[in-house]
């Protein structure tokens, strides 16, 4: 079986065969995605995008975060970018990308247009996300390192699958939709640090809606847009990783379940350290004054990303191990985006504490791991370690996500949580209505 065959099977998987564990995670992602989208509505790029795309007008079938309803493709574009504006959404490390921001906007917009149930939206998202994660893994590190952004590229295929399922595409139509996506998908990492990065998520989502809609209307395309001659994979990766890719196919384990949530409003590369230090602090009642030194070992790849020694702004604090370590030990919450003020970068106590923190790259430490020792002033040495890949019990994850939501949105987050918890009683339009009202 080709990858395309697997993806077509996945797209058509009966709802009854979707594993409950994967469905639960997809709903956590739905809540987290809506929280990120609502928290992003005032970001300049979101405002500008609503202005440009909103000015086009059109039949208002799908709700936009903080804005009016728009046609499905337009809503997907705006919602993708808006929900990625804070860069606080979920991450899948195997896929190397952010599944929800590229795929949920397509699923919800088409779900609203087709008057689907909210549960059907979440299921379509999940199957699209699973396809996207596998395609991202197939494109591999070569794709990412060459300069492509899986969130946008692999994400577009996930958005196509999700949109196509909600449009009710047959197998031949879904094949055409994926073929069209092969020629439509794009997205580069050179956008990082600019509004182009959140735009990439919107690109994925809008491409998915457009390609699925064209296939639904009878558009034809390449037989195998993924791995066929001059398909997306051979043109966009020099070394696709197909070995074992589908060894654990549905209805077995969904690789999407490995998705991780950002619980701190800073670079994902710092999260393992934050979790490890927070646990050590809680377990040992540590105070900043009692600490002589912290020796952190992290993956060498993060040193280029989040090891700013003397941050000059709140934004740079998000990419500073030494500052963030001090925030944890001083009990400054790292979850709310509003914590990262420019004043924080000038805080004398944090600057002094930063001098105690030594950061070393260690190739034996994985991307999702952190480890090291805390040396107490009394001489004792406390080892610390955390692996973001370690499973989190659902109840703990729920509590953490709800705390993150409250930090960003206040009480409104609890209303959102109640909606997601009662998803089986809602329509896609009920869900969409939560995006608009302030």
Least distance CB 52 / its own copies (angstroms): 5
CA distance 35 to 406: 9
Residue 292: helix, strand or coil by DSSP?
A: strand
CA distance 109 to 166: 10
Q: Which of 184, 122, 198 has its CA nearest to residue 153?
A: 184
Nearer to its own copies, 22 or 75 (CB): 75
Least distance CB 108 / its own copies (angstroms): 17
Nearer to its own copies, 69 or 296 (CB): 69
Q: Are 204 and 152 in contact (CB under 8 A)?
A: yes
Nearer to its own copies, 183 or 313 (CB): 183
Nearer to its own copies, 195 or 389 (CB): 195
Nearer to its own copies, 22 or 86 (CB): 86
Least distance CB 176 / its own copies (angstroms): 8
- How many C-beta atoms surround the C-beta of residue 383 within 10 A? 11
Nearer to its own copies, 158 or 231 (CB): 231
Nearer to its own copies, 232 or 323 (CB): 232
Least distance CB 119 / its own copies (angstroms): 26
The two tokens of residue 434 are 């939560």
Least distance CB 110 / its own copies (angstroms): 13
Least distance CB 178 / its own copies (angstroms): 11
Q: Are 360 and 296 in contact (CB under 8 A)?
A: yes
Nearer to its own copies, 103 or 212 (CB): 212
List, in order, residues 6 or more apart from 396 with CB less than 8 Å away: none
Beta-sheet strand order (sheet of 369-376): 357-361, 291-298, 369-376, 381-387
Q: Are 287 and 329 in contact (CB under 8 A)?
A: yes
Q: Which of 388, 200, 369, 358 has its CA nearest to residue 301?
A: 369
CA neighbours closer than 13 Å in the CB half-sphere of residue 12: 12
Least distance CB 377 / its own copies (angstroms): 44
Q: Which of 124, 125, 117 has its CA nearest to residue 99?
A: 125
Nearer to its own copies, 182 or 354 (CB): 182
Least distance CB 102 / its own copies (angstroms): 13
CA distance 197 to 98: 11
Least distance CB 170 / its own copies (angstroms): 16
List, in order, residues 6 or more apart from 285 with CB less than 8 Å away: none
CA distance 278 to 297: 16
Q: How far is CA 199 from the centre of its chain?
A: 14
Q: Which residues bind its own copies (CB under 8 A)?
A: 44-45, 48-49, 51-52, 55-59, 71-74, 146-149, 152, 179-180, 182-191, 194-196, 199-200, 203, 213-214, 216-222, 225, 228-232, 234-235
> In terms of DSSP bridges, do strands 291-298 and 69-70 run parallel, antiparallel, or are they unpaired?
unpaired
């Amino acid at each position: 079986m080709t990858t395309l065959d697997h993806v077509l099977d996945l797209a058509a998987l009966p709802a009854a065969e979707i594993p409950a564990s994967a469905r639960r995670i997809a709903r956590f992602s739905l809540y987290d995605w809506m929280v990120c989208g609502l928290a992003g509505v005032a970001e300049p790029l979101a405002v500008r995008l609503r202005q440009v795309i909103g000015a086009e007008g059109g039949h208002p079938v799908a709700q936009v975060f903080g804005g009016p309803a728009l046609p499905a493709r337009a809503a997907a574009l705006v919602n993708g970018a808006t929900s990625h504006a804070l860069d606080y959404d979920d991450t899948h490390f195997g896929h190397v990308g952010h599944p929800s921001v590229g795929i949920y906007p397509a699923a919800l917009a088409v779900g609203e247009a087709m008057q689907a149930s909210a549960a059907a939206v979440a299921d379509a998202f999940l199957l699209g996300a699973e396809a996207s994660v596998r395609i991202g893994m197939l494109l591999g590190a070569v794709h990412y390192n060459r300069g492509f952004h899986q969130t946008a590229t692999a994400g577009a295929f996930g958005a196509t699958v999700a949109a196509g399922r909600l449009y009710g595409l047959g197998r031949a139509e879904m094949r055409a939709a994926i073929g069209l996506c092969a020629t439509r998908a794009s997205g580069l990492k050179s956008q990082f640090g600019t509004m182009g990065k959140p735009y990439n998520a919107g690109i994925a989502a809008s491409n998915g809606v457009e390609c699925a809609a064209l296939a639904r209307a009878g558009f034809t395309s390449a037989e195998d847009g993924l791995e066929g001659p001059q398909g997306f994979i051979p043109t966009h990766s020099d070394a696709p990783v197909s070995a074992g890719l589908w060894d654990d196919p549905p209805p077995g384990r969904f690789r999407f379940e490995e998705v991780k949530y950002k619980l701190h409003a800073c670079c994902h590369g710092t999260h393992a350290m934050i979790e490890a230090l927070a646990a050590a602090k809680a377990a040992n009642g540590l105070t900043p004054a009692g600490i002589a030194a912290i020796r952190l070992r992290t993956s060498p790849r993060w040193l280029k990303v989040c090891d700013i020694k003397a941050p000059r702004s709140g934004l740079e604090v998000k990419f500073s191990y030494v500052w963030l370590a001090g925030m944890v030990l001083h009990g400054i919450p790292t979850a709310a985006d509003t914590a990262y003020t420019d004043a924080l970068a000038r805080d004398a106590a944090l600057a002094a504490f930063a001098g105690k923190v030594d950061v070393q790259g260690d190739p034996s430490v994985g991307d999702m791991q952190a480890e090291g020792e805390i040396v107490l002033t009394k001489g004792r040495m406390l080892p610390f370690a955390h692996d973001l890949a370690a499973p989190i019990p659902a109840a703990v994850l729920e509590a953490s996500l709800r705390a993150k939501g409250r930090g960003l949105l206040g009480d409104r987050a609890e209303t959102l949580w109640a909606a997601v918890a009662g998803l089986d009683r809602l329509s896609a339009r009920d869900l969409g209505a939560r995006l608009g009202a302030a």
